[in-house]
Structure 1
């Protein structure tokens, strides 16, 4: 029979039993807590954890849409999008690595790798090395920007494990500064100027997106990429520009700006029948491929954006208004001294001193007499003249609505002082842009009907659909009879007037008008010694097809409109030859004197 425990033994066992029970209780509580957490993980947090897991292995990235092209009328690309790559690196991973070359293997240090990259990117090796070592713990450093596809292939062949190439697109302008003033440019924040800005809604595409899976070290897993939204490329802007003519005009303008020592120049060729701009050149002109290399004042098209006092080219508009209202005719006789003075202290003078002349209105235009047009021009009231100026298109945005065009209307007649009442007749005290003046001459050439200038004809979307630009609304400015008389009068400028020293264009009679406008000297409140010289031409005079309008700002070698003659002759000759215009040398028989 078992022995009974002594009382002492029993007393020793009681604490042991209590400790065993306590441990068992703690163990049971831990097991229950783990069980609850396991249920929470597997059931309650399952969706959250799945989402977090997916976000760690599944990556969404944009698919950038290509920006559309800007084309000339014949399809020549003026602006386009090309593929480029940024060269990046993970400095934290940069170290010496082994590169297999056939059966051989070589060790390549970081410095050696940067030397190899320098030869491809054109960035100095020291610069690359400083960029990759600037923050050794970083996972990202930009080494070089916008390398082309050829460079991409060469860099990939280097097999540098810590160097990566990021794809993006960039704008390129094949003709550089030729038409750069028109196409404009883009920047980091998007479209900045010219047609790039104006036609951004056509040019801009719609980005898409794609997802791919990656491994724990961040490497994209082959075959896992899925397009979730397709990118849609931008449309193509179709312009009226003749690429070959634009080049020719730009070359002539650049040469003559240099020859005249001018600050700048503009040249416009506009088709009479529809107002299409075939060439609009500025010199200097921005090269959109190198915007930072262009002075800020030359980033835009002065032909559209810069107001100036047009001077004597305005006399054609004044004469046309007089004839249209029946207040004068080409043979109206005027006795013209070389200057006039007024009770308020004002003075009007001709460019050169001369004895009193007996000029017809035709002769006043041919000789560009300020005094002559002032004597006859006030036969029209201020308001009548103002109304004609508006119909000719002054004081309003052109049909192109080019970025940066001035929007200020003409100064109302209530603000014309006594001097402005006369000065306006010969283009002083009133402002216009070169495009506005070209448009006004288009009206004279087009039977008296102004068709606002057009630069863009439509947008061709990526699917081939073409959205045409709304047609311009014609404006009747003067009668067809007035137009015909003005063209005949303007022929005398080359026959016996201010362009008689310029060699005629063989086989053609051209209607022209010169201008030599003083530039306001704002600090002194009057006019200084600088000028804007210009020539307006309509060719051929007997069958008007093209308007050529040229200006030079602040020439130093020749400050008269005669200095514009060589540019006018060469550009007009190019236009007539390029478009194979039938010769017509019919000359005016209108008298210039009486």
Structure 2
């Protein structure tokens, strides 16, 4: 009888047994090595299945005005999210969750059912920490919370166009929130935690990377002036039944924008009813023909040539000038058939300004306007900023020269206009614009000869204080200077101008003892009876300049002596008729 115990193939059987034995020894050695000697591998594999890194949110930097008043702050909020796949096993808790969230139970159930295969959906974002904790106290399986930050704007609609806002993910979307997003945004940290296979938090182990908060940003605006400008502009828009408006206040010495206001505006804390048109920062986005506010710059070009002086006379009779098929007209009747250069500004004579421009040449007027920043970017880096248009013709014909001299054929923004007037107020020195607080005096360039700029200052003072001047722009207790303007609105999409649609402008500065603040007021399409800049925008300039000088503690430079006030002096001459102060 044959034996089947391996005797037939003894060497093969022993070989297989030997190989199996070696394999067992190798596996045992590897187990011993991994368990006792090199245990990092198994620990790493275990950690990969249980250790997690969750982000630590970092709040955005604080935005303040120049005096440290908060304009944008970050507050902690609770965001609730759910794992619909995990929640499918406990549907009877869904109604309780819906009530705690303030949501319709049926709609929440429908949403959870529709996302049953997913492991993450947002339930609600931006709850207060107390509200979030109340929901988490229900201990509904599959419901989790995240700590986030939400932006809050204490000044509301007063600084909306300047500061802007952030989205739900705390990223800047408008204003300085967008322009300086990299500066304001914080760097999130990381925390290491231990979770089970279902994602439940077992233990908080350590912080592996600390969160880094965003940096503080101090703007140049003064919140007191911003409130003042907002109040007066809103009041003017309502009284004049206007479509929109802008107002900018600038420090002529430092180039800082102290206030920038637009109407209509919006509340960045509640954007549910916000319309896109209200979001536009009109002061730097809307371009327009500046009208007669350009005449002081054209007059600067004339004085700079040395061929003209303020007392030189120009014939303006009969108040119109024919250039081929193009007729130049004066809006109002002048004092007489002949005006000196100051009289041209006081009476806002297009005919007189055109005749001066013909002698000076369009190229010289273009050079002065370009030197004060027209047709150029401001350098602020503000989102959506428009550069406008300053034409430079190869050959300057009379019609092109004339229209440029009295503010047509070019387009500017309110910010560019206030920058130009600030240069005149600063004795012809151009200072870079800034929407951030300036700690040291900036470098400046002499772009208009000082004697010319100082002469224009005196002429613009007469524009307000002369008997036929824009008396509505006068500021009690102070000498100020400025020029009104009225510009027809161009038709959108075609040539020509819109019927009965105007922009009313006023640009000025003060006090004349030492000019410090420049202000520009733009009222878009006033419809309550008048539209001339001297009638509509000049009173706003007066109120805002008066409030600015007092808030900034600027000593009056136009007070009567105490003894003269106490004496029985005759009453001052009556104000001129209102129609004389309304030219543009």
Q: Please say if residues 338 and 356 of structure 1, whose CA atoms lie closer than 8 Å, have aligned partners that are also in contact.
A: no
Are residues 509 and 294 of structure 1, via their aligned partners in 2, closer, same or farther at CA, if it must alter by over 3 Å?
A: same
- Structure 1 position 116 matched with structure 2 position 100: yes
Are residues 125 and 554 of structure 1, via their aligned partners in 2, closer, same or farther at CA, if it must alter by over 3 Å?
A: farther
Are residues 155 and 415 of structure 1, via their aligned partners in 2, closer, same or farther at CA, if it must alter by over 3 Å?
A: farther
Which residue of structure 2 lines up, in the alignment, with residue 339 of structure 1?
320
Helix, strand or coil at the partner of 1:347: strand
Which residue of structure 1 lines up, in the alignment, with residue 172 of structure 2?
191
Which residue of structure 2 lines up, in the alignment, with residue 88 of structure 1?
81
- Structure 1 position 547 matched with structure 2 position 518: yes
Q: Please say if residues 334 and 349 of structure 2, whose CA atoms lie closer than 8 Å, have aligned partners that are also in contact.
A: no
Determine which of 357, 367, 380 is the counterpart of 2:347: 367
Determine which of 476, 480, 491 is the counterpart of 1:521: 491
- Structure 1 position 446 matched with structure 2 position 439: no
Which residue of structure 2 lines up, in the alignment, with residue 201 of structure 1?
182
Are residues 408 and 48 of structure 1, via their aligned partners in 2, closer, same or farther at CA, if it must alter by over 3 Å?
A: farther
Which residue of structure 1 lines up, in the alignment, with residue 504 of structure 2?
533
After TM superposition, the structure 1 = structure 2 runs for residues 563-574 of structure 1, keeping only pairs within 5 Å, are 563-574=536-547
Deviation at 1:38, TM superposition (A): 6.0
Are residues 584 and 17 of structure 1, via their aligned partners in 2, closer, same or farther at CA, if it must alter by over 3 Å?
A: closer
Which residue of structure 2 lines up, in the alignment, with residue 210 of structure 1?
191
Aligned-partner Cα distance in 2 for 1:333–1:349: 18
Q: Please say if residues 131 and 143 of structure 1, whose CA atoms lie closer than 8 Å, have aligned partners that are also in contact.
A: no
Deviation at 1:261, TM superposition (A): 2.8
CA RMSD of aligned residues (A): 3.3
Determine which of 198, 201, 223 is the counterpart of 1:220: 201
Determine which of 482, 504, 514 is the counterpart of 2:452: 482
Helix, strand or coil at the partner of 2:422: helix
Q: Please say if residues 96 and 110 of structure 1, whose CA atoms lie closer than 8 Å, have aligned partners that are also in contact.
A: no
Deviation by residue 1:308-342 (Cα, 9 ceiling, x = unmatched):
11111001111122223323222221221321111
Q: Please say if residues 533 and 559 of structure 1, whose CA atoms lie closer than 8 Å, have aligned partners that are also in contact.
A: yes
Deviates more, 1:548-557 or 1:478-487: 478-487
Which residue of structure 2 lines up, in the alignment, with residue 229 of structure 1?
209
Deviation at 1:94, TM superposition (A): 3.5
- Structure 1 position 328 matched with structure 2 position 298: no
User: Greater Rg, structure 1 or structure 2?
Assistant: 1
Determine which of 514, 532, 535 is the counterpart of 1:560: 532
Query: Structure 2, unaligned stretches of length 5 or more?
Result: 561-579
Which residue of structure 2 lines up, in the alignment, with residue 580 of structure 1?
553
Deviates more, 1:130-139 or 1:160-169: 130-139
Aligned-partner Cα distance in 1 for 2:322–2:341: 21
Are residues 409 and 401 of structure 1, via their aligned partners in 2, closer, same or farther at CA, if it must alter by over 3 Å?
A: farther
Query: Structure 1, unaligned stretches of length 5 or more?
Result: 1-9, 98-106, 459-467
Deviation by residue 1:477-514 (Cα, 9 ceiling, x = unmatched):
33333333222222333335776462743222321210
Determine which of 151, 155, 158 is the counterpart of 2:138: 158
Q: Please say if residues 88 and 116 of structure 2, whose CA atoms lie closer than 8 Å, have aligned partners that are also in contact.
A: no
Give the number of equivalent residue pairs.
Answer: 552
Helix, strand or coil at the partner of 2:158: coil
Determine which of 138, 142, 149 is the counterpart of 1:169: 149
Q: Please say if residues 506 and 520 of structure 2, whose CA atoms lie closer than 8 Å, have aligned partners that are also in contact.
A: yes
Deviates more, 1:31-40 or 1:427-436: 31-40
Q: Please say if residues 310 and 517 of structure 1, whose CA atoms lie closer than 8 Å, have aligned partners that are also in contact.
A: yes
Are residues 526 and 353 of structure 1, via their aligned partners in 2, closer, same or farther at CA, if it must alter by over 3 Å?
A: farther
TM-score of the superposed pair, with normalisation by structure 1 = 0.83
Q: Please say if residues 95 and 110 of structure 1, whose CA atoms lie closer than 8 Å, have aligned partners that are also in contact.
A: no
Helix, strand or coil at the partner of 2:558: coil
